Structure 1
Amino acid sequence: MLSLQEISDRLEIQDLMVRYSHAVDTRQWDLLDDVFTADAHIDYSAMGGATGDLAATKKFLADVMPNFPAFQHLISNSSITVDGDTATGRTMCHNPMVLPGDNGEQSLMMCGLWYLDTFVRVDGAWRIKTRVEEKSYMYIAPATPGMG
């Protein structure tokens, strides 16, 4: 049976991951300062992205994400293990991204991945210390003429 503390920790960690998705999907990169630890290591390489610290990750996102007119990070199926002030998690992410095309046509890139995270409690709040993406699939649905 889960203790009330573990239930609270799991809910706080799930909320943290939702705040990550919100920060990225609303292009508010500075919100990530309250999601990751100051010394976080983030590895997006499995899906073709950058690897680095928080500052490098924010720069990467700010440089790359404006190339996509729209996107969403949908997270689910979190498996979280809490051990005191540390935790690990494996969370599914479905990330559809609109790709601009010629003549105003758009196509849809669908990315399926898992976030492999380590979390730490910092001053009473959970933060992501390491995040590594694990690829499941990437598929680009071709543009349909007249569907821009």
Structure 2
Amino acid sequence: MLSLQEISDRLEIQDLLVRYAHAVDTEQWDLLDDVFTPDAHVDYSAMGGSAGDLTETKKFLAQVMPNFPAFQHLVANSSVTVDGDTATARTICHNPMLVPGQDGAKTLMLCGLWYLDTLVRVDGAWRIAQRVEEKSYMFLVEGTSA
């Protein structure tokens, strides 16, 4: 049976994961300061992105994400293990993205991945200390109209 503290921790971690998706999908990069620890390591390389600290990650996202006319991050099915003030999580992310093409044509890129997170409690709040993406699939649907 889960303790009330563990139930609370799991809900707070799920909320943190949703706040990450919201920050990226609304291109509010400074919101990531409340998602990650200041010394976090973020590795997006499995899906072709950057790997580095939070500052480098925010710069990467600010440069890359505006190139896509539309995108969403759906996070679900988190497997969370809490051990005091540390935790690990494996979370599915479904990330459809429109890729601009010639003459207004768009391609739909479907990205499926897992976020492998190491989390820590900092001043009573959960933060991601390390995030590594694990690729499941990347699929292109040509000639999408949207």
TM-score range, shorter chain: over 0.9
Q: Using the alignment, how far apart are the partners of 2:64 and 2:100 within structure 1? A: 13
Give the equivalent residue in structure 2 for 1:124.
124
Deviation at 1:107, TM superposition (A): 1.1
Q: Using the alignment, how far apart are the partners of 1:89 and 1:45 within structure 2? A: 19
Report the AA paired with residue 17 of structure 2. Answer: M
Identity percentage over the alignment? 77
Q: Using the alignment, how far apart are the partners of 2:40 and 2:31 within structure 1? A: 14
Report the AA paired with residue 133 of structure 1. Answer: E
Give the equivalent residue in structure 1 for 2:54.
54
Deviation at 1:64, TM superposition (A): 0.5
Matches within 5 A, 1:68-107: 68-107=68-107
Q: Using the alignment, how far apart are the partners of 2:142 and 2:105 within structure 1? A: 10
Report the AA paired with residue 65 of structure 1. Answer: M
CA displacement, residues 98-144 of structure 1 (integer Å, 9 cap, x when unaligned)? 01111111110000000000000000000000000000000010115
Q: Using the alignment, how far apart are the partners of 2:48 and 2:106 within structure 1? A: 21
Give the equivalent residue in structure 1 for 2:66.
66
Does 1:9 find its partner at 2:9?
yes
Q: Secondary structure at the match of 1:133?
A: strand
Does 1:21 find its partner at 2:42?
no
Deviation at 1:56, TM superposition (A): 0.1
Q: Secondary structure at the match of 2:27?
A: coil
Q: Using the alignment, how far apart are the partners of 1:29 and 1:3 within structure 2? A: 34
Deviation at 1:82, TM superposition (A): 0.1
Deviation at 1:79, TM superposition (A): 0.1
Query: Which aligned runs of 4 or more in structure 1 are off by greater than 2 angstroms?
Result: none
Q: How many residues align?
A: 146
Q: Which ranges in structure 2 are unaligned for 5 or more consecutive residues?
A: none
Q: Using the alignment, how far apart are the partners of 1:31 and 1:70 within structure 2? A: 20
Q: Secondary structure at the match of 1:142?
A: strand
Report the AA paired with residue 119 of structure 1. Answer: L
Report the AA paired with residue 10 of structure 2. Answer: R
